[in-house]
Structure 1
Amino acid sequence: MKTRFSHKEVEKNRNEIASEIVNLSATLNLPKGTEAFISDIHGESDRFSHIMRSGAGNISKKVEELFTGRLTKSNQKKLACLIYYPSEVLKNVQNKLTDKPDLEQWQMDTFNNLIEMLRYMANKYPKKLVKESVQPKFWEIIENLLMIDTSYNSKQLYCQGLLGSIVKLGLADDFIIALCHAIQRMAIERIHILGDIYGRGLHPDRVIAYLSDHWQNFDIQWGNHDILWMGSMAGSKLCMLNLIRICARYHNLKLLNEAYDIDLTSIVKFARHSYRPLPNFEPKVDNVEEIPKEELVTDNCVQQAATIMQFKLEGQAIKRRPEFEMDDRLFLDKLSQSKRTIEIGGVKYNITNGCFQMVNPANPYQISHPEQVVLIDLINQFINSSKLNEHMWFMFDHGSMYLKHNGNLLFHGCVPVDEQGNFIKWEIDSRKYSGRDLFDYFTSVLRDAMRHPTTGDCFNSDVLWYLWSGKDSPLFGKDKMTTFERYFIDDADLQKESLNPFYKLCDKKWFVERIKDEFDLEEDSRIVIGRTPEVKAKSPLSKGKIIFVNGGRPKIQNEGGFTLLYNSFGMQIVKLSPFISLNDAVFSAEIATQRKTIERFDEQKMVTDTDFGDKIKQRIEDLCAELKD
């Protein structure tokens, strides 16, 4: 039965459609929003939060643009710090300004500066998006303040009356915090995280929570550390052992228990019983606070236990998968009878601080019964952890191996090639994958593994481990991971890990064009890559329009790394200051130590020039069709 609408209802509906078309059409003519690109967060949640609060340096730049000549450099810095950390700065101000009239005058001045800053930031956004950035309880007040032209005396008095009432009602702090958070949200339109949310740092879970709670427009390109965590949830014991080893190495086993309810009792008991502390397994920690000796001993022994089980399972996987071509990673069967020397490539090397008591010379890659008990207990916990499942599916649903966005290509690592720049072919089941197809293939394997987790030694689990450290893994980008050599052999040449030829070829224009053709990119497209290798750490821009970013790292050779800002006027590389501590960051606005414009557009880019603009155009087309019906 057809639903009948009255003439007034039909006309109302048509007016609503027409109104939406008008608003969407106007949005197309607004300036393109700012995109920020960061990578290698490695669980450093305070560092990540600092970058996000500062708009990756964009807010301090806007403060400078707006207030130069009106505020001193010192006061510009104070305003930027307030916007980044309003709650912390307000406490400091209240401790200093104990005289009520002085505090109220500071609040009124701050209101005016923040409202002007918000108005400046909101210029490129439609009203709907501005409203979404503001706390609902303050929207009506802020909407009025944004629209007021204070050049008229009556309007100025009205504005001051509003702000004065906020002070009298005791809402000044809440109002300032709301303004600061709104400015933070509008500083960046979209965030691109180019790999390794997870890794060595203490709180990757807080990074996930921050993204979930504060941002809508973001995407993630997975890094090899992220794959370890997703692979562990999918049942890969090899991924799990690497993950536990790294947590123990960086004194971060608490993360597994406190954030993801993983009970480590079984491995702790086994490790403390089977191993003794060794100097080459001492945890790598910042000497910020004193760590109880018992915790350091546990880290040391758990690291050893996970390492030996890892080497055993790696050996099994390498033998199962000859197509991985990783026989050079087999070591346990090359140990001498005494386990004090090892022969590699016909050369005998001394073992430094070996811990091979659980290795059976007759069958070196066999997992012992006590180890098997530990593995079964742990992997079942990883698969069944509700919080880990929630976070890993968040990573998968918002992530990809690569992304094409607004004409640019984003990924973590490299596109594996040989010395001549030819895409390396990865052969599985008589089919060869290379370039873009290789990325797509690995995505399908990860999807299948996460949908069908299993603790058995299956193909999916082996491939996910390969993505972590395989010689042709696009997420790893090196010929080998020399974990064994770095732990046990004092020889720099053996410990060396060589980069894939991709990194030295990316300065060649012909090679960059080959990558662009492979991913169907336009001539003026940029390629933005996370996980900057050491050779590119001080030169983030290649000669062939490839940009390397690493701004999420806490410290890189006492520097803060690089991030990229892409706004309507062009692209700018931002060199970040090193992150010392949260307390230092609260009162230091120097997030960006250097800026370099790498491209300035002849014409300002508008929303109509973006992927979002294409979606708006399609929506307008659909609405117009409705009007014609």
Structure 2
Amino acid sequence: MRYHISETIIFGGRVLEDKFKEKFLSKSELQTEIINLSAELELPKGTETFISDVHGDFGRFSHIMRSGAGNISRKVEDLFEGRLTTLNQKKLSCLIYYPSQVIRGMKFKITNRQELDQWYMDAFNHLIEILRYATNKYPKNLVKKSIEPNYWTTIENMLLIDGKYKTKNDYSQGMLKSIVKLGMADDFIVATCHAIQRLSIERIHIVGDIYDRGAHPNLVLNYLVDHWQNFDIQWGNHDILWMGTMAGSKLCMANLIRLCARYHNLGLLRDAYDIDLTSLITFARHFYRPLPNFEENLEIAPKIPEEERITDNCVQQAAAIMQFKLEGQAIKRRPEFHMEDRLLLDKLSQGKNLIELNGQEYEINNGCFQLINPADPYQIAHPEQVVLIDLINQFTHSSKLNEHMWFMADHGSMYLKHNGNLLFHGCVPVDEKGNFTEWEIDGHTYAGKALFDYFNEVLLDAMHHPTTGDCFNSDIIWYLWCGQDSPLFGKDKMATFESYFLQDTNLTAEKSNPFYQFCDDEAFIKKIKAEFDIPESGHIVIGHTPPTDESPLKAKGNLIMINAGRPKTENEGGYTLLYDSFDMQLIKLNPFVSMNHAINSMEDVAASRKTIERFDERKMVYDTDFGKKIQQHIDDLVAELHDNSEDDVDE
């Protein structure tokens, strides 16, 4: 199954096509549509949230989405300041995030039926008030699409009720009491909470790296499919590995498998994508033995069965050696990549215990080069070839992987310009003077925006024309993963070999592109904006590089680094961004431990908020890209109405 999207926008629960081919049968229908669309232009701009580097951590991603990236707790505070204590505000927010779990806990805690019924009534009233607040910027048809159909009529009536009138209030309370008596209270609360979650965010921007490290990137994509209409993805270099593998790249596949083994995620390939790893595991366990430098890289080390540890270790070695061989072949095929410094296997000594780099010998730490042929170090051994062919055929024919990768392709891009902001995952490659790096390939030179556009075109072409043979497109996709001038990688090298086998930190260091040194230079950021035709008032939002000790805000907030997915330490919560009709806020997130911890601690998802920009006038739909599309549609409808009126006169 493939997902494809046309040149459309979704607003107010309806699809507005670029060409607006919908025809109306009567003058009154045209007039009604013009009136409705014109009214929608006057609504406040919806809230956008920006999140990057999810890296398969579905629990954390789900927590951020359930909380509206901190937007829901802000609404609760706005509504109930002075009416509910801080503790009760936290309880209410937690109920909205995890309704089913909180309800179970309350039913276990409150054994008196009358007290439980009162809790239901209080919860109903608070939730309806929040839902009413959340819906004030959306047209009715979009609100309806966000609510469980079975409860729409009831919730619609409650949203329209003005509580200051006693008769209306009695009517509302009577409905709620009936819901409790009929045993519908749990489902009603869950449906209301889910509606609040959906309506707290209008659009989600995922600024790269849904895949690798975490165990459930597939669940992240399933969540987007099931819960959201408006979202976009800017590909990260880890995403590129998976897309390239589906397109037939054995080199991307070797990297992908190595990372899965390194993070104890081989089960993801089996369970989510139906990849049978029997041939690989049998091969790896036969030719390799566990080594300390190939232990799993886990932030929180679970109790992994010994057999699985051995398998992870051996598979990681097998994949790494095949990766180094395939990389060597690609580098030799593509001298224009200028990656000769990554040809390392031919620098090994005869005994394979030393390697000569830059005229100096270094001792190899726990080598596993038994399948390296000194006469031809980059030759794929026959047993390796059998495994590679088996696996690449499985990956390219996996229906679920195809479905997810086409979903990524159809909803993604190398960069995005949206509502005056520029989003991309890594960097715009530049030299030491801050000039755009010129990248020459196939007789053409690309730099700046043109480089992004070129890579975007090659990747989509590779997916539309997959091949398991060595080809130009496959090599380019691999370059996007780890090449020096790849906008998605942004470093001088990927020191995988050195990190496994060498102790010298000077060799394992990966130098970032000079782009990052210039991020605080307002003149440089202005040049980037001009290159991508972004207004001076706009912002650049990037992922990939998590801020640590330094501020994520650069050049007076003109460039914003976010990383909300997999922080480097347990004390870091990462950052996300909220952009609504009033302001743009940087949200520093509290560390996420687990769903149970989040429920029990009731700790707000937002550790702190920093306003990057507060708007002098509230932004409305007519200020957005959507608004421009809608206005064009209105103009077309007015012209059609005018043409129809002239036809009536002629008749």
1:118 aligned partner, one-letter code? L
CA distance in 2, matches of 1:50, 1:80: 12
Could you tell me the TM-score, scaled by structure 2's length? 0.94
Report SS of the residue matched to 1:597: strand
Whether the 8 Å contact between 1:507 and 1:544 is mirrored in structure 2 is: no
Is 2:606 the partner of 1:606? no
Is 2:326 the partner of 1:308? no
Match for residue 277 of structure 2?
264
CA distance in 2, matches of 1:12, 1:156: 42
Report SS of the residue matched to 1:74: helix
Match for residue 345 of structure 2?
332
State how 1:325-364 maps to structure 2 within 5 Å: 325-364=338-377
Match for residue 19 of structure 2?
none
State how 1:217-228 maps to structure 2 within 5 Å: 217-228=230-241
CA RMSD of superposed structures (Å): 1.3
Match for residue 520 of structure 1?
533
1:555 Cα deviation after fit: 5.0
CA distance in 2, matches of 1:251, 1:11: 57
Q: Which runs of 5+ in 2 are unaligned?
A: 1-22, 645-651
1:624 aligned partner, one-letter code? V
1:539 Cα deviation after fit: 3.0
CA distance in 2, matches of 1:57, 1:308: 44
CA gap of 1:551–1:170, structure 2 versus 1, over 3 A, is same
Is 2:480 the partner of 1:470? no
1:544 Cα deviation after fit: 6.1
CA distance in 1, matches of 2:25, 2:392: 59
- Pairing partner for 1:398 from 388, 411, 420: 411
CA distance in 2, matches of 1:585, 1:537: 27
1:199 Cα deviation after fit: 1.4
CA distance in 2, matches of 1:600, 1:500: 32
Match for residue 179 of structure 1?
192
How many residues matched?
A: 620
Whether the 8 Å contact between 2:246 and 2:402 is mirrored in structure 1 is: yes
CA distance in 1, matches of 2:169, 2:135: 20
1:182 Cα deviation after fit: 0.5
Is 2:110 the partner of 1:108? no
CA gap of 1:511–1:286, structure 2 versus 1, over 3 A, is closer
CA distance in 2, matches of 1:590, 1:398: 31
CA gap of 1:114–1:500, structure 2 versus 1, over 3 A, is same
Report SS of the residue matched to 1:21: helix
Is 2:640 the partner of 1:626? yes
CA distance in 2, matches of 1:131, 1:17: 23
Match for residue 78 of structure 2?
65
Report SS of the residue matched to 2:417: strand
- Pairing partner for 2:34 from 16, 21, 41: 21
1:593 aligned partner, one-letter code? A
Is 2:182 the partner of 1:161? no
CA gap of 1:149–1:21, structure 2 versus 1, over 3 A, is same
1:336 Cα deviation after fit: 0.5
Match for residue 125 of structure 1?
138
Is 2:295 the partner of 1:282? yes
CA gap of 1:347–1:534, structure 2 versus 1, over 3 A, is farther
Report SS of the residue matched to 2:316: helix
Q: Provide, for residues 209-230 of structure 1, a one-character-per-residue CA deviation record: whole Å limited to 9, x for no partner.
A: 0000000000000000000000
- Pairing partner for 1:245 from 252, 258, 262: 258
Report SS of the residue matched to 2:137: coil
CA distance in 1, matches of 2:290, 2:434: 46
2:640 aligned partner, one-letter code? E
1:618 Cα deviation after fit: 1.3
1:319 Cα deviation after fit: 0.7
1:287 Cα deviation after fit: 4.7
CA distance in 1, matches of 2:609, 2:587: 5
CA gap of 1:281–1:125, structure 2 versus 1, over 3 A, is same
1:538 Cα deviation after fit: 4.2
CA distance in 2, matches of 1:105, 1:530: 46
CA gap of 1:12–1:357, structure 2 versus 1, over 3 A, is closer
State how 1:208-223 maps to structure 2 within 5 Å: 208-223=221-236
Whether the 8 Å contact between 2:522 and 2:555 is mirrored in structure 1 is: no
Is 2:578 the partner of 1:543? no
CA gap of 1:486–1:368, structure 2 versus 1, over 3 A, is same
CA distance in 2, matches of 1:49, 1:237: 32
CA gap of 1:102–1:566, structure 2 versus 1, over 3 A, is same
2:620 aligned partner, one-letter code? M
Match for residue 3 of structure 1?
none
2:396 aligned partner, one-letter code? I
Q: Provide, for residues 240-291 of structure 1, a one-character-per-residue CA deviation record: whole Å limited to 9, x for no partner.
A: 0000000000000000010000111111000000000000001123556421
1:551 Cα deviation after fit: 1.0
Whether the 8 Å contact between 1:529 and 1:548 is mirrored in structure 2 is: yes
Identify the range of structure 1 (248-257 vs 581-590) with the bigger mean alpha-carbon deviation.
581-590
CA gap of 1:92–1:439, structure 2 versus 1, over 3 A, is same
Could you tell me the TM-score, scaled by structure 1's length? 0.97
Match for residue 6 of structure 1?
none
* Aligned residues with identical type, % of pairs: 68
Match for residue 323 of structure 1?
336
CA distance in 1, matches of 2:233, 2:461: 19
Whether the 8 Å contact between 2:425 and 2:488 is mirrored in structure 1 is: yes
- Pairing partner for 1:417 from 396, 416, 430: 430
Whether the 8 Å contact between 2:552 and 2:562 is mirrored in structure 1 is: no
Identify the range of structure 1 (598-607 vs 545-554) with the bigger mean alpha-carbon deviation.
545-554
Match for residue 5 of structure 2?
none
CA distance in 2, matches of 1:537, 1:204: 29
CA gap of 1:63–1:608, structure 2 versus 1, over 3 A, is same
2:506 aligned partner, one-letter code? D
Report SS of the residue matched to 2:588: strand
Identify the range of structure 1 (34-43 vs 536-545) with the bigger mean alpha-carbon deviation.
536-545
Whether the 8 Å contact between 1:540 and 1:562 is mirrored in structure 2 is: no
Identify the range of structure 1 (607-616 vs 584-593) with the bigger mean alpha-carbon deviation.
584-593
CA distance in 2, matches of 1:475, 1:66: 42
CA distance in 2, matches of 1:404, 1:568: 18
Whether the 8 Å contact between 1:506 and 1:543 is mirrored in structure 2 is: no
Is 2:48 the partner of 1:35? yes
State how 1:480-499 maps to structure 2 within 5 Å: 480-499=493-512
Whether the 8 Å contact between 1:78 and 1:589 is mirrored in structure 2 is: no
Report SS of the residue matched to 1:528: strand
Identify the range of structure 1 (281-290 vs 122-131) with the bigger mean alpha-carbon deviation.
281-290
CA distance in 2, matches of 1:12, 1:457: 56
1:109 Cα deviation after fit: 0.6
Is 2:102 the partner of 1:89? yes
Whether the 8 Å contact between 1:40 and 1:552 is mirrored in structure 2 is: yes
Match for residue 62 of structure 2?
49
CA gap of 1:537–1:580, structure 2 versus 1, over 3 A, is farther
CA distance in 2, matches of 1:288, 1:155: 57
Whether the 8 Å contact between 2:546 and 2:567 is mirrored in structure 1 is: no
Report SS of the residue matched to 2:607: strand
CA distance in 2, matches of 1:422, 1:62: 44
Report SS of the residue matched to 1:381: helix
CA distance in 1, matches of 2:541, 2:632: 28
Q: Provide, for residues 19-38 of structure 1, a one-character-per-residue CA deviation record: whole Å limited to 9, x for no partner.
A: 11111111111110110000
Report SS of the residue matched to 1:123: helix
CA distance in 2, matches of 1:413, 1:511: 16
Identify the range of structure 1 (270-279 vs 14-23) with the bigger mean alpha-carbon deviation.
14-23
Match for residue 435 of structure 1?
448
Q: Which runs of 5+ in 1 are unaligned?
A: 1-9
CA gap of 1:361–1:239, structure 2 versus 1, over 3 A, is same
State how 1:197-216 maps to structure 2 within 5 Å: 197-216=210-229
2:451 aligned partner, one-letter code? L
Match for residue 234 of structure 1?
247
